[in-house]
């Protein structure tokens, strides 16, 4: 069918034509945004899930909700080697400058700017801050990131409140925060909520963020509601497949939908990818099971050569060996002891490789003693490409 009309959108953070199965989470986020706006603190959200389940799409949606409520919104995406101090400082600068123009700034915003200036001066290679305000020492310049970030957040919150504004900070790929940075972030959110200030932080990341937060601060779960973002279940999986086509007056035969679900296992990214190829290869509506089967071969070939391969190429030799060992055991989660046996190494000797695979975001610990892949269907890929 006409590829120009193709309604499927495989990508990273790309808004799907039909956002399936996330109404409850969106409604929670909406309530949070509205409550914080009227000074009613509420637990914020920490969205966690595997690669391609739709975390970034949800953060983008939350960003839209906050913008509708006139929040100042900044969305941060962390990468593996980022220094969180520097990254957040750059965004704080932007937020402060958005709260109000310097000429019109009231007392609290001027103070926040001065405190931020002192913070940037105290930070080696910090962001340049050429605004004409005097640095105010004594807050946010101790060199202890946890107390400095808390001071900064409080000052931003107080400035926003005085100027009648609200601030929403969205942090994606949160698993790349170091534990001490996570501790600083949680402590800062804690203070903000105690003081009922109009600043909200929503995080998203791989499943390891749950453990990272708990290790950083034992009270993390009282500040954040941890929401698992999962594959789509019936009937939302079928809707994610059929609804985009329906908008173009194209339908699926029912066994074609079943085949589609069998291949993608309800994972949003794979649904978009297979949907795209099925649409391009099918000749007419309704789409048949053979259309889906034909498209599956093309889709897998393309995923193997791009999506999966790019990821595998980031792994070092011994990391690859460990992952091939996992895949040979079938579907996860995998007991570490079984993986060790499979690759013929002692569990204790595997630990460093396991740790680098977790920090690179390849695997996570679903429960004590176990590991699993963060990319859905990665085990199938490794078995196909031994
Ligand atoms: N609820 C949904 N219904 C249908 N399609 C979706 C849904 N959520 C996400 N998608 C699609 O899935 C793909 C992946 O979404 P997204 O990039 O948000 O995933 P992610 O969880 O952030 O992945 P990663 O961990 O790799 O960053 C996109 O093409 C998006 O359009
Ligand atoms: Mg993402």
CATH number at residue 380: 1.10.10.10
Residue 127, pLDDT score: 67
Pocket test for ligand 1, best of 8, 16, 50, 235 (most atoms within 8 A of CB): 16
Shared domain for 156 and 288, answered yes or no, is: no
Shared domain for 140 and 245, answered yes or no, is: no
Q: Which of 130, 127, 96, 90 is nearest to 110 (CA)?
A: 96
Rounded to the nearest whole angstrom, what is the distance from the C-alpha of residue 206 to the centroid of ligand 1? 13
Rounded to the nearest whole angstrom, what is the distance from the C-alpha of residue 125 to the centroid of ligand 2? 28
Q: Kindly report the CATH number assigned to the domain that includes residue 244.
A: 1.10.8
Shared domain for 27 and 56, answered yes or no, is: yes
Residue 154, pLDDT score: 97
Q: pLDDT by residue (tens digit) across 214-261?
A: 888 888 888 899 999 999 999 999 999 999 999 999 999 999 999 999
- Residue 100 inside a domain? The answer is yes
- d(CA 253, CA 285) in angstroms, rounded, equals 9
pTM equals: 0.94
Rounded to the nearest whole angstrom, what is the distance from the C-alpha of residue 48 to the centroid of ligand 1? 12
Q: Is the pLDDT of residue 367 over 70?
A: yes
Ligand 1, atom 13, lies closest to the CA of 269
Residue 137 makes CB contacts below 8 A (sequence gap 6+) with: 118
Structurally, how many domains does the chain consist of?
A: 3
Q: pLDDT by residue (tens digit) across 300-326?
A: 999 999 899 999 999 999 999 999 999
Residue 141, pLDDT score: 84
Rounded to the nearest whole angstrom, what is the distance from the C-alpha of residue 39 to the centroid of ligand 2? 30
- Residue 349 inside a domain? The answer is yes
Shared domain for 38 and 159, answered yes or no, is: yes
Pocket test for ligand 1, best of 175, 268, 276 (most atoms within 8 A of CB): 268
Ligand 1, atom 15, lies closest to the CA of 54
Residue 126, pLDDT score: 66
Rounded to the nearest whole angstrom, what is the distance from the C-alpha of residue 293 to the centroid of ligand 1? 23
Residue 365, pLDDT score: 93
- d(CA 251, CA 243) in angstroms, rounded, equals 9
Shared domain for 61 and 110, answered yes or no, is: yes
Shared domain for 59 and 181, answered yes or no, is: yes
- d(CA 282, CA 273) in angstroms, rounded, equals 14
Rounded to the nearest whole angstrom, what is the distance from the C-alpha of residue 273 to the centroid of ligand 2? 16
Q: Which of 309, 359, 28, 310 is nearest to 206 (CA)?
A: 359
Q: Establish whether residue 198 lines the binding site of ligand 1, counting it when its CB lies within 6 angstroms of any ligand atom.
A: no
Residue 222, pLDDT score: 87
Q: Kindly report the CATH number assigned to the domain that includes residue 165.
A: 3.40.50.300
- Domain that residue 300 falls in: 237-311
- Residue 213 inside a domain? The answer is yes
Q: pLDDT by residue (tens digit) across 49-101?
A: 999 999 999 999 999 999 999 999 999 999 988 999 999 999 999 999 999 88
Q: Establish whether residue 57 lines the binding site of ligand 1, counting it when its CB lies within 6 angstroms of any ligand atom.
A: yes
Shared domain for 176 and 257, answered yes or no, is: no
- Residue 9 inside a domain? The answer is no
Which atom belonging to ligand 1 lies closest to the Cα atom of 205?
25
| Angle at the Cα of 364 from the Cα atoms of 362 and 367, rounded to 5 degrees | 160
- Residue 363 inside a domain? The answer is yes
Shared domain for 321 and 243, answered yes or no, is: no
| Omega before residue 333 within 30° of 0, cis | yes
Q: Establish whether residue 78 lines the binding site of ligand 1, counting it when its CB lies within 6 angstroms of any ligand atom.
A: no
Last residue of a domain, one of 311, 344, 366: 311
Residue 386, pLDDT score: 84
Residue 381, pLDDT score: 95
Last residue of a domain, one of 288, 311, 334: 311
Last residue of a domain, one of 276, 311, 346: 311
Residues forming beta bridges with residue 46, ordered by sequence position: 203, 226
Q: Closest ligand to 51 CA?
A: 1
Rounded to the nearest whole angstrom, what is the distance from the C-alpha of residue 59 to the centroid of ligand 1? 10
Q: Establish whether residue 16 lines the binding site of ligand 1, counting it when its CB lies within 6 angstroms of any ligand atom.
A: yes
Shared domain for 365 and 247, answered yes or no, is: no
- Residue 11 inside a domain? The answer is no
Chain-centroid distance of CA 96 in Å reads 24
Pocket test for ligand 1, best of 8, 9, 12, 261 (most atoms within 8 A of CB): 12
Q: Is the pLDDT of residue 15 over 70?
A: yes
- Residue 5 inside a domain? The answer is no
Shared domain for 171 and 191, answered yes or no, is: yes
Q: Establish whether residue 21 lines the binding site of ligand 1, counting it when its CB lies within 6 angstroms of any ligand atom.
A: yes
356 sits in which H/E element: helix 347-359
Shared domain for 145 and 272, answered yes or no, is: no
- Residue 46 inside a domain? The answer is yes
Q: Establish whether residue 268 lines the binding site of ligand 1, counting it when its CB lies within 6 angstroms of any ligand atom.
A: yes
Residue 120, pLDDT score: 87
Residues 198/175/178/41 CA torsion (nearest 10 deg): 20
Rounded to the nearest whole angstrom, what is the distance from the C-alpha of residue 54 to the centroid of ligand 2? 7
Shared domain for 363 and 262, answered yes or no, is: no
């Amino acid at each position: 069918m006409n590829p120009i009309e193709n309604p499927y959108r495989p990508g990273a953070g790309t808004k799907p034509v039909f956002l399936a199965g996330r109404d409850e989470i969106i409604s929670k986020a909406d309530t949070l945004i509205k409550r914080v706006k009227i000074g009613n603190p509420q637990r914020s959200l920490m969205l966690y899930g595997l690669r391609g389940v739709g975390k970034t799409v949800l953060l983008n949606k939350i960003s839209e909700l906050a913008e509708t409520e006139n929040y100042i919104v900044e969305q941060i995406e962390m990468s593996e080697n980022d220094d969180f101090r520097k990254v957040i400082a750059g965004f704080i600068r932007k937020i402060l400058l958005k709260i109000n123009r310097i000429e019109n700034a009231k007392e609290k915003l001027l103070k926040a700017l001065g405190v931020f200036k002192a913070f940037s001066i105290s930070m080696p290679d910090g962001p340049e801050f050429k605004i004409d305000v005097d640095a105010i020492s004594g807050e946010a310049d101790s060199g202890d990131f946890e107390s400095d970030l808390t001071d900064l957040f409080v000052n931003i919150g107080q400035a926003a409140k005085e100027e009648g504004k609200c601030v929403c900070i969205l942090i994606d790929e949160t698993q790349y925060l170091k534990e001490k940075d996570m501790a600083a972030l949680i402590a800062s959110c804690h203070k903000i909520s105690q003081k009922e200030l109009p600043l909200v932080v929503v995080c998203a990341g791989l499943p390891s963020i749950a453990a990272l937060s708990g290790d950083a601060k034992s009270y993390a779960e009282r500040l954040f509601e941890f929401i698992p973002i999962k594959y789509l279940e019936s009937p939302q999986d079928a809707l994610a497949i059929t609804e985009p086509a329906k908008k173009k007056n194209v339908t699926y035969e029912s066994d074609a939908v079943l085949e589609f679900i069998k291949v993608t296992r309800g994972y949003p990214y794979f649904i978009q990818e297979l949907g795209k190829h099925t649409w391009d290869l099918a000749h007419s509506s309704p789409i048949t099971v053979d259309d889906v089967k034909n498209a599956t071969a093309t889709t897998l070939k393309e995923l193997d050569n791009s999506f999966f391969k790019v990821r595998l190429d980031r792994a070092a030799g011994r990391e690859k060996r460990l992952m091939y060992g996992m895949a040979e055991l079938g579907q996860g989660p995998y007991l570490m002891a079984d993986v060790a046996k499979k690759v013929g190494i002692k569990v204790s000797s595997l630990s460093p490789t396991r740790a680098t695979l977790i920090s690179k975001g390849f695997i996570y610990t679903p429960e004590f003693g176990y590991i699993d892949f963060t990319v859905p269907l990665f085990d199938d890929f490794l078995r196909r490409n031994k």
